[in-house]
Amino acid sequence: MSQPSVLFVCLGNICRSPLAEAALRAEAEKAGLAIIVDSAGTGDWHVDCPPDARAQRQALSHGIDISHYRGRQVTAQDFRRFTYVYALDADNLRNLRRIRPSDGTAELRLLMDMVPGREGNGVTDPYYGDEAGFAVTWDDVTRAARAIVGSLQAVDRTS
């Protein structure tokens, strides 16, 4: 299998998707899996902005510094460049389906569909809440990251 690439997409690319990116990078590194990972938002409000300070603190509490991440908006090229594009919730999945170019090759999925028992659920947006919401988000994206790594390892073994 060629090196897989994963893009996580939420609304603003400052809370959920950067945490998902960090979680997958960490889980892939633990597993010794070579993977390309990035994140983006469907909206353009936070282009070139660092992740929300609460997201940064949550990642740092797990030994991961995401202060250098910068928000960006998803592009048509992303659907050709990445193997998988994971939406963090149903609204973003609908938006991604709408903007996906006809020649897009990426598999488009809802992130929590990767976690048994969580199919159809979105990752709750912690932006308007407190620090506890970011811990819940971290738990969700970490569970999904582990499932993605397991899935990619299974595909690699059968190739």
Catalytic residue at 10? yes
CB 122 within 8 A of CB 147: no
Annotated catalytic residue within 38, 52, 89, 125: 125
Active site residue 81: no
Q: Which residue among 10, 38, 89, 140 is the active-site one?
A: 10
List Cα–Cα distances, 36 to 25, 130, 148, in angstroms: 8, 31, 13
Report the alpha-carbon angle 89-92-65, nearest 5.
70
Distance CA 21, CA 62 (A): 13
Active site residue 44: no
30: its two tokens: 């633990």
Question: Count of residues for the chain?
Answer: 159
Catalytic residue, candidates 15, 16, 78, 143: 16
Which residues form the catalytic set?
10, 16, 125
